[in-house]
Amino acid sequence: MDVGWVYTVQESMHAYAANVYTSVVEELMKDKKRTFIAVEQEFFRLWWDTVSTETQRQQVHQLIQDGQLEFIIGGQVMHDEAVTEIDDQILQLTEGHGFLYETFGVRPQFSWHVDPFGASAATPTVFALAGFNAHVISRIDYDLKSEMQNKKNLQFVWRGSPSLSESQEIFTHVMDQYSYCTPSYLPFSNRSGFYWNGIALFPDPPKDGIYPNMSLPVTSDTIRSYAGTMVANIKQRAAWFRSTEVLWPWGCDKQFFNSSVQFKNMDLLLDYINEHAEEYGVTVQYATLSDYFLALSRENLTWDVRNDQDFLPYSTEPFQAWTGFYASRNVLKGVARRASALLYAGESAFAQHLLKYPSGSLCKMWALEQLRNLRWQVSEVQHHDGITGTESPKVAAMYFNHLLQGMFSVKKLMVSIILDMFSAENNTKRHSYTYNEVEREKGAKSNEQYIVVYNPLAWNITTFVTLTVNYSTVNVYDEFGQPVPAQIQESTEPHSKLDLYLLVTINGLSYRRYVVKVGNYPPNEESAIIGRKMKFKRQVTESTRRPGKRLLPILNDCYMVMIDQDTNLMHSIKDRASNRTIGLTQEFLEYHVNGDTRNGPISDNYMFTTNGSAAKAYQAVGLEIVIGKLVTEIRQYFYRFPGKRMWREREEQSKPDELDYLYAVYSRIYNVPDGYDMTFLCTRIEQEYKVGPLELNREAIMRTSTDLNTNRVIYTDNNGYQMQKRQYKLYINNTVARNYYPMVRTAYVEDEYARLVLLSERSHGVSSQGNGQVEVMLHRRLWNNLEWDLNYNLTLNDTSVVRPVIWLIVGSKPLTDALYQRSGLALEHRPVVTFGQFAVSKGSQTRLSQEVAEDFVILPPNLHLQILSIPGWKYKSNHTEHMQTIHKDQLNSASADFDRVLLRIRHLYEKGEDPVLSQPVTVNLKSLLKGLGTVLSVEERSLTGTWDINDVNRWKWKTAQHYKEGFINWSKNPKHISEDSTVTLHPKEIKTFFIYFQK
């Protein structure tokens, strides 16, 4: 059941989703032979909380205990695999698993990832770490699936991580060409087959219970035809697999909402086939996934091993490459990732505040509810028709609204935490205070503006934060009264005033406080540096001048960027560390696509099909350069339409005319003063793009062309977790689109001497269509007359203006290896800035000064703090004790558990990727967390926290390398936690802990 695709969650709950669980529970209770598998938790949790009766709840407990109702995957949603970030995947799994374990004591052990549009190699690792025994997928490239069917290779053991390899392998089953639905064709009827409850009706279920397209009932007249059709399909599918057991899915999207009629007909058909088993040569039974995989494991077959290659991109036909959704609804992709980053910051801010100031006035339960709200919304949008941008406009609006509401809640929380720390005068209001634009304006109009900056990463950072101010002369001071390096300059936005860049250094998981004072105060101190803008003549693309003759250098300690004044484009970048210059230029282009099915294949929300090569999207380029001691900003404006207005000089205007340019790129390089860490600031070129609104049926790209000899090979990431090498492939049809891949955070091209890395704060489609090239699809605006798209309102007439950010790193492989992982996370998790008129007493000033002087949670550079959180789950860590609590029905009366802290740490590097950073790392958790309090005990858990690591016994499937079946028991692994709370993380390992502190 899709959480949000064509219809909103609320519409789906009303029309069919609630009826699924109500009627399924009723029907399962009638016959113990019947079974049902439930996948996504959002609909089930809504039914459980708002619809179900006490009797139905007791029945669900009984059905689970009897093995008739089985939860598989168990996450909030069936997440997309192409454009989601691994931390968000784990979040939504953790949310669903926490609910299931707390409520029923069950822990899903099988996946049903059959609907995402392609399969990532990170997913089998995630599911293995969660304790799963088998993994089911379906949507892989049509020609590859055909080949695997013919060779009976649809089942294999997948070792998705090259570093973890066998230790986190998982048995994988690929659904055959019929995918995850019951075959709908009946040779004896023009109605859909095997769907006796028909098709869900929106907006209201029919009062008479008669739905559209209900299959012919199973009667004495039709039963033999039904049986023959079903058996023929079973035998056809059996020929594609090696085992005698055949997984035959019964159902599809939006089914079983009228389970009474469905099970009644299914019972008759199954009984008939089994009564005639000798004639048909098959027997059939209701089964859950655990039934199927248990039967399969007993056949004692030897399975092939698939290594770390993913199943992306996904195509269903030669002209149906599902690579367009990598860039669909770019704004939603950006908001989803910003919401995730805010949640990440809010989680650690609340956890450490509660640990360090347990007697504060912040209401714990209120605070937890703010976080739970955003956890739900961030989990929800990971759905494979959510963050992908493949939903209808009203569902996209639903996702936006839910995310923004959740973000508002966590912003309120973070302000309340700050006030609880710093403001003794506001005790009674801290739990509800929120910053808003009015408050910010008050600060901007007064002589002093206070800001608090929080670093959510477990590393010390030196970076710039940007504020909007009204005054050109300001001084900035930190909490110690010391001047802070700052630069002020005209904003790039037409209606904004001035941008103020502050250079901040912040310890891991800590705060800094600053005050911006208007005017030269005190008069003898130097105010913020003023960036001076230089304007250059607009250059047309048809110019007869030979490029490369008039080069303008822009440099810092790491790079020399050359701008060609004859084109106003970037010309080259010199990496000053290696003294190597890379020819590099950037331009905006557009793919023109077809929207009329009568004229050929079309592009839509999902698919990308171009009419040809990308065409240049501009005819002239404007250039401004803002020069300052701290920041130099290169502003390029790409003008599309020639004409009198375009050619008329506007010397009197301070900004380019927005009516003229459709594209812009703002590139910033930083000069870091002596005494500050320049490692990351100096080595990145920050680029912010402005794209749109596009013309209809255009797909906009930024193409970066270099002189690197790459042979059209590009490397892209799987979910921000691991990299994949993408070799350019030639196809008979649709070669451009089928060479597009998702970039969740990272992509790079390289030759034997140098590498160009691109880091993004949202997902895009990327490709290398030429030697040394990398192009990023930034925006899409589409309309087509495909009946299916029109019926479901799935055209993508996106008129928005998008502003994605990409950081560039240029240099040698050793240099970029050391930088790109942490830089990508620094882009994802930028400091959280809070404004307000914070009244700070001397006591709180002293306390803050002490905090600034300490190192809080500082991890080694190759480890990432994936989460530090107080989840609030009420379940017992000991499984036996928890099951006893459930049976005694004692959970409902318990409050949230604020003593359990969830900690998850990830090793960022692959084996052999870097001579130093790829080494195992040993961390003492008590020392790591000493700034938060005294650690009493540590428990290592499975990925989502529901298993004690010592209790996980995953199935071991027999392969050519390992002839014995059995179990993978993690507790026997010597790499687990020691008595003194010391743990070692090997390359790409993710470890999850429950931490308990002394009160």
Name the residues annotated as catalytic.
115
Please provide residue 49's backbone torsions phi and psi, each rounded to the nearest 5 degrees: -85, -30
Q: Quick check: 620 and 597 in contact, CB under 8 A?
A: no
Structure tokens at 818: 């050391």
Here the contacts of 104-107 (C-beta below 8 Å, separation 24 or greater) are 104/60, 104/61, 104/64, 104/71, 104/886, 105/875, 105/879, 105/882, 105/883, 105/886, 106/64, 106/71, 107/74, 107/131, 107/946, 107/947
Q: Taking the mean position of all CA atoms in its chain, how far away is CA 752?
A: 32
Residue 697: count other Cβ atoms within 10 Å of its Cβ: 22
**Are 472 and 488 in contact, with CB atoms under 8 Å apart?**
yes
871 vs 892: CA distance, rounded Å: 17
**Cα–Cα distance, 864 to 909 (Å, whole number):** 10
**Beta-bridge partner residues of 969:** 953
The three-state DSSP-derived secondary structure of 448-474 is EEEEEEEECCCCCEEEEEEEEECCCCE
Q: How far is CA 632 from CA 475, 554, 628, 857, in A?
A: 20, 8, 6, 33
Alpha carbon distance 937, 963 (integer Å): 39
Amino acid sitting at position 501: Y
The residues, any chain, with a CB within 8 Å of residue 647's CB and separated by 6 or more, are none
Distance CA 200, CA 185 (A): 18
Q: Give the side-chain half-sphere CA count within 13 A for 716.
A: 33
| CA pair distance 886, 101, nearest whole angstrom | 10
Determine the 3-state secondary structure of 445 from DSSP: helix
Burial 603-624 (b: 16+ CB within 10 A, else e): bbbbbbbbeeebeebbebbbbb
Nearest one of 986, 997, 994, 721 to 101, comparing CA atoms: 994
Strands 685-691 and 661-670: antiparallel
Q: Which H or E run contains 70? A: strand 69-71
Instruction: Transcribe 356-393 into DSSP letters.
Output: H-TTSSS-HHHHHHHHHHHHHHHHHHTBTTTTTS-S-H
Instruction: Report DSSP letters for 525-572, one per residue.
Output: S--PEEPEEEEEEEEETT--SPTTSSEEEEE-SSEEEEEETTTTEEEE
